[in-house]
Amino acid sequence: MVDSMAMRETGMPIRLAARLSGVEPHLIRIWEQRYQAVQPRRSRGKHRLYSQEDVERLSLMRQLTLSGHSIGQVAGLTTAELRRLAASIQATDRAPAASEVIPATDKSVDACLAAVRAMDERGLRKHLEEAGSRIGTQGLLVRVVAPLLHALGRLWCDGTISAAHEHFAATVVRDFLGDLAKPMGNLERAPLLVTATPSGQLHELGALLVSALAANLGWRTVRLGASVPVIELAGAVRELKARALALSVVYPEDDPDLPRELERLRALMPPEVALIVGGAAAPAYREVLERIQAYFMEELAQLPVLLTDLRRSAAPSAARNKR
């Protein structure tokens, strides 16, 4: 156990700060460098050392960004102001039934779930389109579609909805996301993101969701589909000169071959290409993701900040993830 007095005197490394705050290391760096959200001191070896207050700030800012605030809105607040804002959100929150399954959702999720239960295709599309017109494409993807997919997975697992309901929703949402993932304007000079699921991962909606969000942010995207072998993933990334590869990992959580495949993929990919991994099952593979210095996306809301950072930087995460 870490001695609390020693911790106050020396600070904690970024990995521990990330674990305690729930904010991924790469996101901490982005918030620190771009928004001055925290100001850790440096060790003699120039490594970041975070205080208990830094960790509290990071945790509060994570809570607020998941509740709909942008990091730019909250990063400049004092710790006391962050506490008051977080408390006010908790006090006024009247979560809909869907948020018992997933947190930080838009009110449209309940309506979408009702349409799925009724297998009402027109109604489901109508609710998605209305949400998009009200909160924008990025808000729709982060606050409606992602929580809806998460909720459907949980409801199917506990037997609340049938496999037919899940397949119905997947078909409608896949078509809807396909429209959103189409390129916008002249993107000839835009960076390229390749999306897919690795071998054995058959659920591709998460990858399609990422493609739609990236397209909305001005990226070119190429979707390779589900269960793509490592050699083909690496080959596509090289041939297309991609800036990043995003993989969706949904099920199963205990694939004994996946860690080895991810290590092999990272070795085959050009070092300058960022590897992004997210999805419901991704936390189960966190150890290998850290080992290969992949970006682990705990929440879809983290992706816009990461893609913006990748677009601005000349080289991705490998060196930064080590510090």
What span, in angstroms and rounded, lies between the C-alpha atoms of 230 and 265? 6
What span, in angstroms and rounded, lies between the C-alpha atoms of 323 and 306? 17
Phi-psi region of 219 (alpha: psi -120 to 50; beta: other; left: phi over 0): beta
Phi-psi region of 139 (alpha: psi -120 to 50; beta: other; left: phi over 0): alpha
Report the sign of the C-alpha dihedral through residues 286, 287, 290, 291, in that order.
negative
Amino acid at residue number 249: V
- Is the pLDDT at 10 greater than 90, yes or no? no
Amino acid at residue number 70: S
- Is the pLDDT at 103 greater than 60, yes or no? no
**What's the pLDDT tens digit per position in 105-115?**
678 899 999 99
CATH architecture classification, 185-322: 3-Layer(aba) Sandwich (3.40)
**What's the pLDDT tens digit per position in 207-228?**
999 999 998 888 999 999 999 9
More confident residue, 243 or 71: 243
Nearest to 236 by CA among 198, 190, 183, 290: 198
CB 195 within 8 A of CB 224: yes
For domain 95-180, the CATH superfamily is Methionine synthase domain (1.10.1240.10)
Is CATH 1.10.1660.10 correct for 1-93? yes
Strand ranges inside 158-306, DSSP E: 192-196, 220-223, 244-248, 274-278, 295-297
Show me where the domains of the chain are located: 1-93, 95-180, 185-322
